[in-house]
Amino acid sequence: MVTNGGQYSLLEALLETPVPKLPVYLRQYRSQWDYTLGMSARYMHPLHEFNLDVFVRRVLNRLYLSESMVSRAEVPEDFESHEFFRVCLVSKEDIFLFKSITSMERVRDVEDLIALVETGLDYGIIIQELENQLSGDESLKDLIPLMMHRVGLLMEQIGTVKGLIHLREYLEENMG
């Protein structure tokens, strides 16, 4: 995720311009820029079929990259000393939150959610971030039914997980 259009332009140039020792990613799509909603793009690694989703300002035109998300993000070792840009990976709890609001057609996201649950998540962080997002934008409450559905799917597939039960209870309390 990047925070503005200028950062996206730099990342786009890095991904699409031939540079020694770096692959050229193939852009599959890019949405139009909207000041309020941001934009998104998807790139594919030409050899490994690895998808890289890039979001500017908001994920899926909904969740913001909050200050707390930024503070939880970590710089991968490979990028610690890069002089032109800084790459940070958001926490697995924030990835869980992002993937829990994607459309149902993205079956791969459910698989990713299962893998995230299996690594062990701090559901308190997920709930706190959701509260943070909801306090800034009441319209995000319409995401709760989708998240409830995703949590239900996860519980059907991997069984009862204490943290998922706690998250489901939180979502039920905030449905209306």
Closest CA to 7 of 32, 129, 15: 15
Does 101 or 59 have the greater pLDDT score?
A: 101
* pLDDT tens figures, 126-142: 999 999 999 988 888 98
Task: Write down the pTM of the prediction.
Answer: 0.80
Q: Given pLDDT bands bounded at 50, 70 and 90, which one contains residue 79? A: low
User: Higher model confidence: residue 62 or residue 85?
Assistant: 62
* pLDDT tens, residue by residue, 116-172: 999 999 999 999 999 999 998 888 898 899 999 999 999 999 988 899 999 999 999
Q: Would you place residue 14 in the very low, low, confident or very high pLDDT band (cuts 50, 70, 90)?
A: confident
Residue 131: which region, alpha, beta or left (left: phi > 0; alpha: psi -120 to 50)?
alpha
Tokens of 17: 């311009």
DSSP H helix total and E strand total for the chain: 7, 5
